Structure 1
Amino acid sequence: MPGNEKKTSDHRLIEAVIEQWERCGYEGISARQLSTLASAPSSSIYHHFGSVEQLLALAQEHVIGLTSQWCNERIEHLADIPRDPRAFPAFFAACIDDWARGERCLAFAWREGQLLRARNPSGRALQQQWERLWLDFWHAATACFGLERGAGVAYRLFENESFLHMLNWRRSVDRAGLDEFARGAGAWLMGDAVPQSPWRDFARAAALDALPTEPNHDSITAQIVAAAAALIAEVGPGGLTHRAVAASTGLTLGTVSHKIRTKAELVQVGYGGLYINAVSRLRAQTSVLPSGRETVVGIANFLAENSGSRGIDALHLAVARDPALHQFGLQLRYLRGSTSRSLLQMLLPDRPSQGHLEPALLSGFLSSLSRHYGDWTSEEARAPIRAELEDLMALL
């Protein structure tokens, strides 16, 4: 790392953690690897921080401080802007693009921190710091446009869409589709009809065309798919190997390798298994929901009991950083909202039929809720999830 000789070893170690979060994630972090990157002996970690876990926590606090500076700079840019709600969508899109592409190392660190809370006792407290930072930012930002009533919804949409914007397909289409998403977010906050989204519709059609034909798995392949999905959920894509699947299923390595030949194919079937499991649970729950307010209660109960797939989030990060998995970014980013369409119809039965953008907005909102409350008990999560859903309904 340039300039390491002018920095103290503890600072170099923190920078090494941040670098590894972007490069390869938590799985690439070890005392040996960090000491090599920081040009410091491994003993420095224990001298300065006590443990690798404490080093990770302090690295998260450092990133939170840098992100706070980023947020403050953007609020300063709004100091003398006219209080016009119509200006909000462009600002919203610019923030997502600036963050996901211009501050990529910070963006990866935030997402790795969301996964860290499942491994580190201090992780939940750190995530509360992140949540407060972003909520304060969006309260301040929306107030500049006269839209402060929708600050919480704006944050939820930012939280999820900034994650998806880390996945690259075609830069011009991704950026144009982001602008359309931002206009949809603005419509929600202003109480307007959600506009059409031709760029996102194009990308969605391309994603559908690129989907492989759904296979009719034999019993052995079905075992492999289920094991791959479970491994992604438990240990992340980095822990998904043919050998791990063989150990999990009791099959021989040769059998697994014969059925699923490459790592990319193994990731694909694992993601497919995760996605089908999640959608099946949601469809089973929503198929019996009544329309209107009782639907809010049902969705809140479902999210409280089923929040937070660490496997899906880890897969998003793997696709964002690994060019070999690039082909999955199109589906992960644009095939969203199919189940949310039926939820919208139940929540707002008198609302005219939507295009693809409004279901994607609801999908993003619900995904952010699920991610945030993923490590809460169902009893803890039920009331705040319901409150956020009711805030959204009040806008709509």
Structure 2
Amino acid sequence: MVARPPPAATSAPPTSAKAPLAKDNTRQRLIAAGASLIASGGIAAASARAIAAKAATAASAINYNFGNLERLLLTVFEQGVEETRAWQQDRAREIAALPRSPDGAALALLHVIQAWAGGGRRLALTYQEAAAAAPGEGPAAAWTRLWRDFWLQTAAGFGLPAIDGRMLHAFFEYEALYSLSAWSPALETAALIEMVEHFAATWLGAPDRAARGATPLAERTAGTRPYGSVPPAAMRIAKAAAEVVEDTGLVGLTHRAVAARAGVTTGSVTHHFRSVEDLVAGAIRGQVQAMTDEAAAQADAPPSIEAILAPDAWIAALRPHVTSELPSPPVIRRRRLFLASIRRQELAAAGAVIRFSYGGTLRDSMGRVFALSADDLPLHASVLARLLSAIWFACAGDEDPAAGRAALFERIAAGVLGRLSPRHAQGLAIS
């Protein structure tokens, strides 16, 4: 009798040897499903049931592979950090041939912003969800540090000091979110180029370039899109809609949920906001209007930025507002509303209101303090507002965030005074 030959090398391994492979495959499918859902619908859309369905597995596989849903989401964010590291290496190679100068650094900034919002969009959205879920903590802080170090290395490569790397990071940190807008690609790109050029001339030492008017045009156009100011009777509902989006994401925004939060009937909500899209637009308009009204109500209370006419006093009045230990709730709410708006094309115009409505109070006071013309003011104020609002987020991953915020603010202030009030800039440097 001929002996049976041993199993060929291609034969299937025993069942016990297959288990780890099957587990690893399921684990990766769950991570991929979670990342896809977070990018497309926000963290609120990444429920255990939705992730399991997308991964074509049972919901119990989440506990088996990760322990619980929270650890799975944490793993998604941690993997996003590592993917971003590889993504940055590719961008570093792409910008390496740019001239070693402030102009080259500005071109690098523009290229990376556009690439992050384009080909890197999935990672960009996941990063913003991590920052919205736990700003300055865990993977969000690690992600921010990764970007900080990238811009520090980029600045060094272009012959710029470390503080200019922090400035590049601050500008990027703002646009990493708001360049995800798809409202008016041509106009938004023109405004972004104009703002990057102004930023580079004011803070990096690049040559001045004539403004083309894209930024004020974007502000005017966004402000006159089909959503007007929220009437007083609807403000309560608009605020409630913003709170619902903040708590549950866009998936939880319904007329019934808003009615319950506002303490009104569902009919009252539908009377003012017929569709969910109208609710989001109303929430955004309501937030912008509420902040404007609040600033106006406090205009006579000390310290009043609007009442300060000396540049150094104006800078001193700004300092505590942008170097505080925590970001202001309106800033967090604006970011979350914007994230909700960019996931539906029909909400793009509403999102543009947030992107181009920053700095109204700042713009008014800046115009008076530095006697800027109506043509020059929008660009100066828009870029400054972006940098100031990004300070907290750009320093959230620092070992000493307070020191980072203070240093970044002083650099921003020196750039403004150096360009608009050289005499006061010298005094600031001496002090």
Shorter-chain TM-score: which interval?
A: 0.7 to 0.9
Cα distance, 1:158 vs structure 2: 0.7
Question: Using the alignment, how far apart are the partners of 1:85 and 1:374 within structure 2?
Answer: 26
- From 415, 419, 431, the equivalent of 1:395 is 415
Offset of residue 80 of structure 1: 5.3
Structure 1 SS opposite 2:211: coil
Partner of residue 281, structure 2 = 268
Partner of 2:423: none
Q: Report the Cα offset of residue 372 of structure 1.
A: 5.6
Moved more, 303-312 or 81-90: 303-312
2:88 matched residue in structure 1 = 71
Deviation at 1:322, TM superposition (A): 1.0
Q: State the shift of 1:203 in Å.
A: 2.4
Match status 1:202 vs 2:217: yes
Equivalent position of 2:384 in the other structure: 362
Pairing partner for 1:307 from 320, 328, 331: 328
Q: Whole-Å Cα distance in 1 between the matches of residues 84 and 397 of structure 2? A: 23
Quick one: which amino acid aligns to residue 328 of structure 2?
S
> Which amino acid counterpart does residue 223 of structure 1 have in structure 2?
R
Structure 1 residue aligned with 2:351: 329
Aligned-pair CA distance for 1:163: 1.3
Match of 1:257 in 2: 270
Report if aligned partners of 2:222, 2:349 keep a CA contact under 8 Å in 1.
no
The TM-score normalised by the length of structure 1 is 0.85
**CA displacement 1:89-148 (0-9 Å, x = unmatched):** 222111111010111100100000011216xxxx70222211211111111112222223
1:175 paired residue among 189, 192, 195: 189
Alpha-carbon distance, 1:64 to partner:
0.6
Contact 1:188–1:194 (Cα < 8 Å) also in 2:
no
Q: Distance in 2 between matches of 1:226 and 1:385?
A: 30
Q: Point out where structure 1 has 5 or more consecutive residues left out of the alignment.
A: none
Contact map agreement 2:194 2:214 (CA 8 A) in 1? yes
Q: 1:70 to 1:11 in 2, by over 3 A?
A: same
Shift of 1:7: 6.8
TM-score (norm 2): 0.79
- In 2, distance between residues paired with 1:82 and 1:252? 62
Compute the displacement of 1:200 (Å). 2.7
The count of aligned residue pairs is 383
Distance in 1, matches of 2:118 and 2:360, equals: 27
- 1:231 maps to which of 233, 241, 244: 244
SS of alignment partner, residue 83 of structure 1: coil
- Structure-2 separation of matches of 1:265 and 1:241: 11
Is the CA contact 1:197–1:356 (under 8 Å) kept in the aligned structure 2?
A: no
Q: CA deviation at 1:388?
A: 1.9
Q: How does 1:26-45 map to 2 (within 5 A)?
A: 26-45=43-62
Structure-1 residue corresponding to 2:405: 385
The answer (yes or no) to whether the contact 1:75–1:140 under 8 Å persists in 2 is: no
Counterpart Cα distance in 2 of 1:166 and 1:302: 26
Query: In the aligned structure 1, how far is the partner of 2:38 from the partner of 2:99?
Result: 39
Whole-angstrom distance in 2 between the partners of 1:68 and 1:240: 35
- Which whole-Å CA distance do the structure 1 matches of 2:71 and 2:401 have between them? 27
Give the drift of 1:274. 1.5
User: Is 1:155 paired with 2:160?
Assistant: no
Q: Distance in 2 between matches of 1:194 and 1:355?
A: 15
Contact 1:184 1:194 in 2 (8 A): yes
- Tell me if the contact between 1:96 and 1:162 (Cα under 8 Å) persists in the aligned partners: yes
**Residue 11 in structure 1 maps to residue 28 in structure 2:** yes
Structure 1 residue 247: Cα displacement: 1.3
Pairwise CA RMSD: 3.0
Q: Structure 2: which amino acid aligns with 1:364?
A: R
| C-alpha separation in 2, matches of 1:226 and 1:173 | 30
Match of 2:198 in 1: 184
% identical aligned pairs: 26
